[in-house]
Amino acid sequence: MALFRTRRNTAGNESVAINVSEKGGIRYLHLGSETVQSAMRISDPAVLVLPYTHCMMGFMLFNDRPKRVTVLGLGGASLPKFMHKHIPNAVIESVELHPEVVSVAHSAFLLPVDQEKLPVHIGCGGAFIADKTNHTDVIMVDGFGSHKLADNLCSDAFYHNAKKALTENGIMMVNLWRSSPQFQMLVERIRAIFEGQILLLPDYRHGNTIVMAFNRTQHQPGIEALHELAEALSDSTGLAFNDLLIRLVDENPHSKDNLLI
């Protein structure tokens, strides 16, 4: 099955070509190219199919009960659907530039319509964040177009605004391509703005790396406590949080007891 849509959205932004395809019980979203933007198991719409989305949920090792999560870049709504199921008391808000992508997320990718717990805002993610202060516990930056991260979601000003929009102990999760020539520059930009409080969490299979940036002042949980929480989260969600924690320990400098040093 393939569905193509090309239109200019009401905000006057560039049109977006949407292709929805299916293979082996998985439905895929493509935006402007053959690159897979989202994937959904038709028999279980809330499960996370793409490995990088597992990494994006790594924030739960540090805050498994956020009150609000802000997702910049809706796509096929894989992350909002998963969180809606496994963090039912949280408000999971999404910001998407293209209204036609929102329509496809609801119709083809089964995003529930729930204005209270799953609000979707049409507009620029960078502009949405810019006027917020102490607004959200987690910001998930997943705004890839057909070829690269949107410019307004990786600027110096954007990361400063994101830090301000986070609650006191908030966490920003940024999906980057490790092979991108901008990768190291963006990592260092985030490191500087978040005063060194970052961890890298790689998806070994597809080359994505998630940058976790912490706006924390509280004492961080020790590695032993993280292992206990990872075990509990793995059991409750079916996601391999134990594996995510092992990657964090392997990929980042750390002390004997703590990941963030």
Which residues are part of the catalytic machinery? 142
Per the DSSP assignment, residues forming a β-bridge with 177 are 208
> Please, which residues bridge with residue 55 across strands?
none
Q: What is the DSSP string of the chain?
A: -EEEEEE--TT-PPPEEEEEEEETTEEEEEESSSSEEEEEETT-TTS--SHHHHHHGGGGGT-SS-SEEEEE--TT-HHHHHHHHHSTTSEEEEEES-HHHHHHHHHTS-----TTTS-EEES-HHHHHHT-SS-EEEEEE--B-SSSB-GGGSSHHHHHHHHHHEEEEEEEEEEEETTSTTHHHHHHHHHHHTTT-EEEEE-TTT-EEEEEEEE--SPPPPHHHHHHHHHHHHHHHSS-HHHHHHHHHHHS---SS-S--
CA angle 74–77–82, rounded 5-degree value? 135
